[in-house]
Every structure is written in structure tokens, then in C-alpha cells.
């Protein structure tokens, strides 16, 4: 059986497990609410028109990226994007490197910190995206947690958060979801962000923003503008302090498979930023040498051109509005059924996911009796819903809690 005969089958990821079970289910009413990607009302993946348009321009040679240029640090392409969105307040004290989507940006940031930062402890919110623990552990950091979600209110445990960050050793790294916290959909208010900022600066903690859903999307559009998404990050930039930002362009442009992302490290001065950049190159070089250029060319083209940019924001709003409408429809459906409990968190939470508060037993009841699939923590993807399927979900939730 060869030298790998002792290699065991890995446990499937929980989320893959959900999809495998869904695929096997022959029921015509089955519903997959595990998916973390946007789906249309018809349940189809969405390729943005503006992306199609730019791809056509690329095919017709009307936009010619220089494929021969080494993009180890893809200065121009990604900086175009960043200047257009969040980071143009950074002036020159930021360094930005293109990485493999959000995950790759977090990993490069983690490896850089493990090598060049004096504190090796990173605090993650409880709960958080499951991969965070593995990414930062493997990067060589030691992972601790801070309180974030309060099951009783299905909202933020703000006191717990302040207490835990307040007792973290000075210099510790703190991972913050820039907006649309995954899996809870619970974000601090802007006033709470300001208090978090003050505490972080007071204690000389180092903020590391995970911005997987930002410049978009599922939040910000609740308040009606791209800018709103960026506000928490901007607060931390405006005070002149240091921070890291890992950005993914998967969700906001529907470019999941292109793996476009960027890590930005905001330093105290341009001089430090350029030294940091030289070290980031050394982290990246043995990992993947250079990032892929195609997806980044699409992103940069859209953000550089005013008309394309506007088209993008309209399409984003379309996605966000559909998600928000699903929240309202589900909330209304539960209310009209008189389902016991306060379901207002469904419309209060932000982003692609609703953290329903259903427990593992209720989830498995819904799967067995109603063919509805989701992770056992009760997280449902609002993008997996449509006006047609809301009543079925509401029936299932109603039966699960009564
Ligand atoms: N961070 C969070 C909070 C996420 O939810 C995700 C995607 N599920 C990522 C990072 C990774 O994003 P990407 O697919 O761009 O690597």
C-alpha cells in the first residue's frame, strides 16, 4: 500500500458534510441553508454583469494587463482597488500586498506577525468563522478568545467583550470582523466601535480586521452606502495608530473562485511601511511567489472606472436588498404563525447569515422532518432562501420550537 498507507481519511468539514447530506436527500422540498455564497431568487450563483463586461473587454484586448510583470507586491492593481474603497485615508503609511482572497490575506498577516511582532497571542471572538483558529495556529500564533455573542439576547455581549479585551496582556493582537460578523450577523454599533477603539489604543492592543464582507454588501446597504461598511476600519485609521486589514473580494464581486484579496498593514510612518513591505515579500515568496493576476485585473478595472464602479454598486445593492427582504419575509412569516419567541434578531442581524438561536436538536429535527439543511449551530444563510421557500422554513422553525 505504499508509504502513505497510514494516512487516514480526514474528517469532512462540517459545512461540506451539510452539502453532502443535502445532495443525497431525494425530497423535492429540500433546502440548503448552509451555503456561504450568494444565490439568486432562483437559487443560482450570480455572475455580476459588470464582471462579465470587464471580462469581455479583457478577452477583446481592450484592457491589457501586463501579464509579465511580477506582482509579488501587486502595487498598482490592488492599490487601485484600495484607494477606491477603504484605505485612501492611509496616505503613505500603509503597505498592501495581494494575497489569495480573504483566507490567504489572514494567513500572510498571521505569519508576518509571528515573525516580526513582539506579541504572539491573538484574541478571536466567540464564536467566529471556524477557520480563524486553524489559520492563526498554523501561522505560529497562540490563539485565545474574547466574549462576543450573548445567546440570551442574540446580540452583542458588549460588557464581556470590553472585560476580556481589557484584561488581555498589552500588545496582544485582536481579530475584529469589520462588518457582518460570521456566523452571528451581530455587529457593534458605531458608538460601541468607538469604545472598542479607545480600549484597544489605551491598552496598546493591535487590531487585525477581517474584512470578508466589506465594501459591499449585506451590510452598509442597510444604511444605504458603501461608506458605512468602512466606518469601523476608518475610525482606527483616523487616530493615526497601527492596524492590519485582510480584505476579500469574493463576496462583494461574486468572484469566489478567483481568490482576489489583499493584506494591508498600516504603520506609523511611510518608512516603516516600506520596511514591512519588504518583509511581507519574504513571507509570500516561498508560499506562492506571485498572486494570480486575472481576478485582480477585473477588480481594478471596475474600481478605476467611474461608470463601471457605479454599475457595481447598483448590483451590490440588488444583492443586499434581496438578503434584507428575505430577513423581513422570514420574520413576518414567523409572526403570522404566532411562533413563540422574539424573532426580531432576524431583522436586526446583518449580512449573509442569521444566527437563529435554534439548538442542535432543533436543527436536526428540521433536517429530518423538513429536509432543511444548515450547520448545527443554527446558522442559516439568507442567500439560500427565496420568497417561495420562506413559508416552508417558517413552518419548520415553528414546529421545531413548539
Ligand atoms: N473571513 C470570514 C469571516 C469569512 O466568512 C470568510 C469566508 N467564508 C473568509 C474570511 C474567507 O474568505 P475567502 O473565501 O475570500 O478566502
pLDDT for the residue 59: 83
Q: Is the pLDDT of residue 56 over 50?
A: yes
Do the beta carbons of residue 396 and residue 376 sit within 8 Å? no
Quick one: CA dihedral 42, 43, 45, 51, positive or negative? positive
CA distance 167 to 169: 6
Q: Is the pLDDT of residue 14 over 60?
A: yes
Helix axes 101-116, 270-288, angle to 10 degrees: 110
CA of 223 to the centre of ligand 1 (A): 23
Mean pLDDT of 242-257: 90
Lowest mean pLDDT among 217-221, 230-234, 355-359: 217-221
Do the beta carbons of residue 187 and residue 180 sit within 8 Å? yes
pLDDT for the residue 94: 86
| DSSP per-residue letters across 81-128 | HHHHTTGGGGTTSEEEEEEEHHHHHHHHHHHHHHHH-S--EEEEEES-
Mean pLDDT of 341-358: 93
pLDDT for the residue 70: 46
Q: Does any ligand 1 atom lie closer than 6 A to the CB of residue 381?
A: no
Average model confidence (pLDDT) across the chain? 88
Q: Which pLDDT tens digit goes with each residue over 264-311?
A: 899 999 999 999 999 998 999 899 888 887 888 888 888 778 899 889
Q: Which pLDDT tens digit goes with each residue over 64-97?
A: 655 544 444 444 555 555 555 445 455 678 888 8
Lowest mean pLDDT among 47-51, 69-73, 235-239, 344-348: 69-73
Parallel, antiparallel, or unpaired for β 31-32 and 372-373?
A: parallel
Mean pLDDT of 209-217: 72
Residue, of 157 and 98, whose pLDDT is higher: 157
Q: 251 an active-site residue?
A: yes
Q: How does residue 219 score in pLDDT terms, banded at 50, 70 and 90?
A: very low
Report the residue among 108, 212, 218, 377 best suited for mutation to probe ligand 1: largest number of ligand atoms under 8 A from its CB. 212
Q: Does any ligand 1 atom lie closer than 6 A to the CB of residue 250?
A: yes
Nearest to 302 by CA among 24, 44, 63: 63
Strands (E), 181-317: 206-211, 243-248, 260-266
Q: Is the pLDDT of residue 365 over 70?
A: yes
Contacts of 336 (CB under 8 A, 6+ apart): none
Q: Which pLDDT tens digit goes with each residue over 146-190?
A: 999 999 999 999 999 999 999 999 999 999 999 889 999 999 999
Do the beta carbons of residue 128 and residue 284 sit within 8 Å? no
Q: Does any ligand 1 atom lie closer than 6 A to the CB of residue 102?
A: yes
Residue, of 212 and 157, whose pLDDT is higher: 157
pLDDT for the residue 294: 84
| % residues pLDDT > 90 (the chain) | 65
Mean pLDDT of 239-257: 91
Query: Which H or E run includes 380?
Result: strand 379-381
Nearest to 313 by CA among 303, 323, 298: 303
- Residue carrying C-alpha cell 459591499: 216
pLDDT for the residue 267: 94
pLDDT for the residue 215: 52
CA of 106 to the centre of ligand 1 (A): 9
Nearest to 244 by CA among 114, 378, 96: 96
Mean pLDDT of 396-400: 98
Structure-block grid coordinates of residue 228: 458605512
CA distance 72 to 218: 31
Residue, of 141 and 235, whose pLDDT is higher: 141
Q: 304 an active-site residue?
A: no
pLDDT for the residue 60: 81
Q: 14 an active-site residue?
A: no
Q: What is each CA distance from 287 to 14, 76, 109, 297, in whole angstroms?
A: 27, 21, 13, 22
Contacts of 93 (CB under 8 A, 6+ apart): 266, 267, 268, 269, 270, 272, 273
- CA-nearest residue for atom 2, ligand 1, is 212
CA distance 10 to 2: 18
Nearest to 147 by CA among 172, 164, 171, 123: 164
Q: Which pLDDT tens digit goes with each residue over 28-53?
A: 999 999 988 899 999 999 999 999 99
Q: Does any ligand 1 atom lie closer than 6 A to the CB of residue 258?
A: no
Helix (H, G, I), strand (E, B) or coil at 243: strand
pLDDT for the residue 73: 46
Amino acid at each position: 500500500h505504499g508509504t502513505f498507507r497510514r494516512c487516514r481519511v480526514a474528517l469532512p468539514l462540517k459545512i461540506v458534510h451539510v452539502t453532502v447530506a443535502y445532495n443525497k436527500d431525494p425530497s423535492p422540498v429540500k433546502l440548503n441553508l448552509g451555503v456561504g455564497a450568494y444565490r439568486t431568487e432562483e437559487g443560482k450563483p450570480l455572475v455580476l454583469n459588470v464582471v462579465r463586461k470587464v471580462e469581455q473587454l479583457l478577452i477583446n484586448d481592450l484592457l491589457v494587463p501586463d501579464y509579465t510583470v511580477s506582482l509579488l507586491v501587486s502595487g498598482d492593481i490592488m492599490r487601485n482597488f484600495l484607494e477606491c474603497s477603504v484605505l485612501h485615508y492611509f496616505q503613505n503609511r500603509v503597505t498592501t500586498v495581494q494575497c489569495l482572497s480573504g483566507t490567504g490575506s489572514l494567513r500572510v498577516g498571521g505569519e508576518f506577525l509571528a515573525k516580526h511582532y513582539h506579541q504572539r497571542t491573538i484574541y478571536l471572538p466567540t464564536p467566529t468563522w471556524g477557520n480563524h483558529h486553524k489559520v492563526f495556529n498554523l501561522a505560529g500564533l497562540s490563539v485565545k478568545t474574547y466574549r462576543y455573542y450573548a445567546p440570551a439576547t442574540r446580540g452583542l455581549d458588549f460588557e464581556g467583550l470590553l472585560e476580556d479585551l481589557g484584561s488581555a496582556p498589552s500588545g496582544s493582537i485582536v481579530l475584529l470582523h469589520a462588518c457582518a460578523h460570521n456566523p452571528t450577523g451581530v455587529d457593534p454599533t458605531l458608538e460601541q466601535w468607538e469604545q472598542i477603539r479607545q480600549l484597544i489604543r489605551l491598552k496598546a492592543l493591535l487590531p487585525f480586521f477581517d474584512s470578508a464582507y466589506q465594501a459591499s454588501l449585506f451590510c452598509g446597504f442597510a444604511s444605504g452606502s458603501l461608506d458605512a461598511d468602512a466606518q469601523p476600519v476608518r475610525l482606527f485609521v483616523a487616530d493615526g495608530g497601527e492596524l492590519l486589514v485582510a480584505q476579500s473580494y469574493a463576496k462583494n464581486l461574486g468572484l469566489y473562485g478567483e481568490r482576489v484579496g489583499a493584506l494591508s498593514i498600516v504603520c506609523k510612518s511611510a518608512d516603516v511601511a516600506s520596511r514591512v513591505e519588504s518583509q511581507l515579500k519574504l513571507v509570500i515568496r516561498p508560499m506562492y511567489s506571485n498572486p494570480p493576476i486575472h481576478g485582480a485585473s477585473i477588480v481594478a478595472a471596475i474600481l478605476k472606472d467611474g461608470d463601471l464602479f457605479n454599475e457595481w454598486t447598483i448590483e451590490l445593492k440588488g444583492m443586499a436588498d434581496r438578503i434584507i427582504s428575505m430577513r423581513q419575509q422570514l420574520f413576518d412569516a414567523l409572526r403570522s404563525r404566532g411562533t413563540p419567541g422574539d424573532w426580531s434578531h432576524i431583522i436586526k442581524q446583518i449580512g449573509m447569515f442569521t444566527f437563529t438561536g435554534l439548538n442542535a436538536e432543533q436543527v436536526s429535527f428540521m433536517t429530518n422532518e423538513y429536509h432543511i439543511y444548515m450547520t448545527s449551530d443554527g446558522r442559516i444563510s439568507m442567500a439560500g432562501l427565496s420568497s417561495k421557500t420562506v413559508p416552508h422554513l417558517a413552518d419548520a422553525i415553528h414546529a421545531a420550537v413548539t
